[in-house]
């Protein structure tokens, strides 16, 4: 299943499979990248930005340089570029930025990447491009050598339920603690197969939050039955 999604993403972006990194949510890949390049130098990032992956990186010894935002709260690309010297190994940009919600101009960002990318690796975090909140599927696009470095620092296995969802299980929009999805097969037969393994599953599947141990059992059984 990871191979199917990898090829789908590669084809969509007119790249090869070795340009694609799959991870259990975007944080896993971001943490891997921070740790990988944090061994070689410091990381430059905006002073106010998405940081869920930063605490882990700091605990792993990664040193950060924080560049203040502009007065209008936008990311100061010029000041970040000026901060990149031989001691910097990685630059992190979240676009649109979190928590400000402000998007960088595409041409300015591309020029920044072309210029700064000659000195350090630049990560542009655009996780809001493809929203599958809570399904823990993330991916990155990079040169094969950079992608390989990130893959070598990933720690979590791919989330098989999330991978299945990314490959065609279409949930209805939800404002609740559950999702309702078309599993694209005979639901009655699927229900019987799930029930045979002590997990009840209705026709158009409504998957609700529950105890962690129950969700883990559901994830394993659903994945096994769905893959046949």
Q: pLDDT 10s digit of each residue in the chain, 228 long?
A: 457 778 888 998 999 999 999 887 788 899 999 999 999 999 999 999 999 889 889 999 999 999 999 999 999 999 999 999 999 999 999 999 988 889 999 999 999 999 999 999 999 998 777 665 555 678 899 999 999 999 999 875 555 444 444 475 555 566 554 555 665 656 667 667 766 766 555 433 455 555 667 667 766 766 676 565
What pLDDT is attached to residue 191? Answer: 66
State the alpha helices, DSSP H only, in the chain: 2-12, 26-38, 54-59, 77-83, 106-116, 144-151, 160-166, 187-195, 212-226
What pLDDT is attached to residue 5? Answer: 79
Interatomic CA distance for residues 67 and 80, integer angstroms: 6
Q: What domains are there in the chain, each with its CATH number?
A: 2-151 (3.40.640.10), 169-226 (3.90.1150.10)
**Helix count (H) and strand count (E) of the chain?**
9, 9
Residues 6 or more apart from 37 whose CB is under 8 A from it? Answer: 43, 89, 90, 120, 121, 149
Residue 46, phi then psi, degrees to nearest 5: -60, 150
List, as one string, the DSSP characters of 55-77.
HHHHHTT--EEEEPPPTTS---H
Q: Would the pTM of this model clear 0.75, i.e. be above it?
A: no
What pLDDT is attached to residue 204? Answer: 39
- Does the CA dihedral 10-16-21-26 come out positive or negative? negative
């Amino acid at each position: 299943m990871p191979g199917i999604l990898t090829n789908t993403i590669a084809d969509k972006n007119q790249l090869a499979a070795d340009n694609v990194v799959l991870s259990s949510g975007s944080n896993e890949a971001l943490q891997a990248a921070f740790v990988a390049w944090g061994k070689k130098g410091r990381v430059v990032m905006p002073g106010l930005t998405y940081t869920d992956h930063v605490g882990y990186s700091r605990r792993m010894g990664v040193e950060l340089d924080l560049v203040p935002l502009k007065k209008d709260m936008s990311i100061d690309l010029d000041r970040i570029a000026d901060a990149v010297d031989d001691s910097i190994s990685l630059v992190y940009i979240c676009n649109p930025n979190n928590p400000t919600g402000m998007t960088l101009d595409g041409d300015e960002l591309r020029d920044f990447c072309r210029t700064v990318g000659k000195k350090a690796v630049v990560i542009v975090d655009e996780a809001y491009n493809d929203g599958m909140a809570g399904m823990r599927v993330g991916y990155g696009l990079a040169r094969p050598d950079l992608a390989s470095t990130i893959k070598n620092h990933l720690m979590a296995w791919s989330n098989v339920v999330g991978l299945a969802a990314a490959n065609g299980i279409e949930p209805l929009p939800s404002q609740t603690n559950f999702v309702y999805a078309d599993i694209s097969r005979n639901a009655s037969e699927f229900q019987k197969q799930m029930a045979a393994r002590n997990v009840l599953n209705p026709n158009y599947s409504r998957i609700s939050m529950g105890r962690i141990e129950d969700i883990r059992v559901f994830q394993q059984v659903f994945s096994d039955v769905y893959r046949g």
